[in-house]
């Protein structure tokens, strides 16, 4: 009997650690060095290593808007999420706390350039030269001023509650460690004037931060001891005028950092592992998935085409796995538990499969700024002029797959394809055209067409009309003033919509009575006559999603 009892006790002792792990319900935000809130997204890029990797995600073949909450003008910070689902985001004129259903919990009339949530729920907010500690109820606990310097991005918090934050300055930038009561533990100066420190990341006893100099256009990665602020080492990354985005750290301690057109990997001792040239400029923090692959975004300078905007994927050895074009990329990519990569840009929110294929795009009436956040239910939160909650779901996904350039009769011809996983019912196709009378102000005319159903994988041709404008009343050709399409839109019940030329990316037209020519009769005529300047203009054009 005694032997059996001893056997049972030994078995329980062996099983006890695993039982504790199973029943604790705690979510490890990174490692034992983290002092962040036990919440779905307590800091931009999720954790103290800034991996951008969430333990949450939701299945769905496309994205659907759950709600949007207007902000005062534009957002000024990345969203973060508390353990009860409250989303905190800064905008011009205020710091918002927003419930998971999109209603505003409270708003403070303070600026916010970056936010992080501490273990006890305290918000640490930077704006101008101030670091503030704010309670979850919106009460200021304390404020510390870093001289006259502007602070940069979201602070980070270690296991002891120490807050680390950098500044930008035309004099001497500073990087500081601040106690939880608001007193400064230590502060160091940049090596040269007119520069900045990026938001930091933590690994072990070290805090890693980028340091850039505006005059010399040089950017470095610095490793600093957390306990006393001593610089362990500083290594050149590449040519860049500003630090902006933080470094990211893999599970094995490899540090990844971007300096404009360069992605660099460093070992924890500062030895360079590899460097890769990006084809275009980047202000992105790398995101790191469970396999050690790295994702980084670049942006283009031409907003009409965004020719330089891409999402890149590298493996841990620096081998390029894939890259995919986007229309504008702001902030940094993030990854859900299913390996789906999300990025924000000038046309909306993008979702990519791990193999680099485009999964879906949710287009919005305006740009998205900063880095998205992922909630516990897999909802993606992104900021622009509003805070948007976008949910992965199984639904129809409509795309304008082709547009006809050239003469048509009383219509605009487009092709619409359902690339989702549910049929689209009661599809509405809409064109908004800006027209100019010979006398008077410009007018907007709206034309529509209805399609009863578009099945999964089906592509249909749609004629939007009936368009007929008298040349005696309206200017028919686009010379100085003339007809312009300002929006092509397709939408349906339970469907991800599509937008083209929305928000000023217009396309000129000619409308002469019932004769309609998208792109203009002049360019169509030159193409027909064989002009190399417009070769390939007439006919069907495939639209990039």
Task: Check whether 169 has a pLDDT greater than 70.
Answer: yes
Query: Strand, coil or helix: what is 7?
Result: helix
For the ranges 116-130, 294-308, 504-518, the lowest mean pLDDT is seen at: 294-308
* Cβ atoms of 431 and 501 closer than 8 Å: no
Beta bridge partners of 174: 189
Residue ranges in 86-236 assigned as alpha helix (H): none
The topology (CATH level 3) of 69-392 is Methylamine Dehydrogenase; Chain H (2.130.10)
For residue 388, the model assigns a pLDDT of: 95
Mean pLDDT for the stretch of residues 311-323:
96
CA distance 278 to 258: 9
Residue whose C-alpha is closest to residue 342's, from 139, 134, 78 = 78
pLDDT tens profile 4-36: 544 444 444 444 344 333 333 334 455 678 899
pLDDT at 500: 87
Give, as one character, the DSSP assignment of residue 442: -
| Gyration radius of the chain's alpha carbons | 27
Give the model's confidence band at 301: pLDDT under 50 very low, under 70 low, under 90 confident, else very high.
low
Express each pLDDT in 439-464 by its tens digit. 999 999 999 999 999 999 999 999 99
Largest CA distance in the chain: 107
The total number of residues shown for the chain amounts to: 545
Cα–Cα separations (whole angstroms), residue 130 to 158, 228, 295, 356, 536:
20, 22, 32, 41, 56
CA angle 411, 416, 420 (to 5 degrees): 160
Higher pLDDT, 70 or 6: 70
What integer best gives the mean pLDDT of the chain? 88
Q: Is 287's pLDDT higher than 90? A: yes
Low-confidence winner among 17-31, 335-349, 489-503 (lowest mean pLDDT): 17-31
- Read off the tokens for 251: 């599970």
End-to-end CA distance of the chain: 72
pLDDT of residue 284: 87
For residue 164, is pLDDT > 70? yes
Asked if 520 and 513 touch (Cβ cutoff 8 Å), the reply is no
The reported pLDDT for the residue numbered 509 is 92
Which tops the pLDDT comparison, 490 or 366?
490
pLDDT 10s digits, 370-415: 899 999 999 999 998 899 999 999 999 999 999 999 999 999 999 9
Domain extents for the chain? 69-392, 397-542
- The token pair that represents 102 in the structure block: 């999109």
Predicted pLDDT at 70: 94
């Amino acid at each position: 009997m005694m032997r059996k009892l001893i056997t049972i006790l030994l078995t329980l002792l062996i099983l006890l650690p695993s039982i504790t792990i199973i029943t604790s319900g705690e979510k490890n935000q990174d490692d034992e060095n983290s002092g962040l809130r036990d919440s779905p997204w307590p800091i931009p890029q999720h954790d103290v290593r800034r991996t951008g990797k969430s333990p949450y995600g939701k299945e769905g073949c496309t994205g659907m808007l759950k709600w949007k909450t207007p902000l005062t003008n534009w957002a000024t910070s990345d969203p973060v999420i508390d353990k009860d689902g409250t989303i905190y985001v800064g905008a011009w004129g205020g710091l918002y706390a927003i419930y998971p259903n999109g209603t505003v919990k409270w708003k403070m009339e303070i600026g916010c350039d970056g936010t992080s949530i501490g273990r006890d729920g305290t918000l640490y907010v930077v704006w101008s030269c101030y670091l503030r500690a704010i309670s979850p109820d919106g009460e200021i606990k304390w404020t510390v001023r870093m001289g006259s310097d502007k602070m940069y991005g979201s602070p980070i918090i270690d296991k002891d509650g120490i807050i680390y934050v950098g500044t930008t300055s035309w004099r001497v930038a500073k990087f500081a460690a601040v106690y939880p009561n608001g007193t400064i533990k230590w502060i160091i100066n940049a090596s040269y004037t007119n520069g900045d420190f990026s938001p930091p990341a933590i690994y072990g006893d070290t805090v890693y931060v980028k340091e850039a100099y505006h005059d010399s256009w040089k950017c470095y990665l610095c490793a600093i001891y957390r306990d006393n602020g001593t610089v362990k080492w500083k290594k050149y990354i590449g040519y860049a005028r500003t630090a902006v985005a933080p470094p990211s750290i893999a599970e094995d301690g490899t540090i990844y950092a971007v300096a404009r057109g360069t992605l660099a990997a460093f070992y924890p001792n500062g030895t360079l592992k590899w460097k890769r040239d990006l084809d275009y400029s980047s202000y992105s923090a790398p995101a790191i998935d469970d396999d050690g692959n790295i994702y980084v975004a670049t942006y283009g300078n031409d907003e009409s085409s965004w020719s330089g905007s891409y999402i890149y994927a590298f493996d841990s050895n620096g081998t390029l796995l894939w890259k995919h074009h986007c229309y504008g990329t702001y902030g940094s990519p993030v990854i859900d538990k299913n390996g789906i990569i999300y990025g924000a840009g000038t046309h909306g929110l993008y979702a990519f499969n791990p193999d680099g294929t485009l999964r879906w795009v949710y287009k919005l009436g305006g740009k998205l700024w900063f880095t998205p956040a992922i909630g516990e239910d897999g909802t993606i939160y992104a900021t622009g002029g509003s805070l948007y909650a976008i949910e992965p779901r199984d639904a129809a996904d409509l795309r304008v797959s082709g547009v006809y350039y050239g003469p048509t009769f009383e219509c605009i011809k487009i092709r619409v394809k359902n690339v989702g996983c549910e049929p689209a019912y009661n599809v509405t196709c809409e064109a908004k055209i800006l027209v100019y009378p010979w006398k008077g102000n410009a007018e907007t005319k709206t034309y529509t067409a209805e399609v009863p159903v578009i099945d999964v994988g089906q592509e249909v041709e749609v004629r939007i009309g009936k368009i007929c404008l008298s040349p005696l009343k309206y200017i028919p050709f686009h010379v100085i003033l003339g007809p312009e399409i300002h929006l092509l839109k397709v939408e349906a019940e339970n469907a991800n919509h599509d937008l083209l030329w929305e928000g000023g990316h217009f396309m000129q037209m000619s409308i002469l009575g019932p004769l309609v020519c998208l792109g203009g009769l002049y360019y169509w005529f030159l193409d027909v006559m064989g002009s190399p300047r417009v070769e390939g203009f007439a006919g069907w054009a495939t639209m990039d999603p």
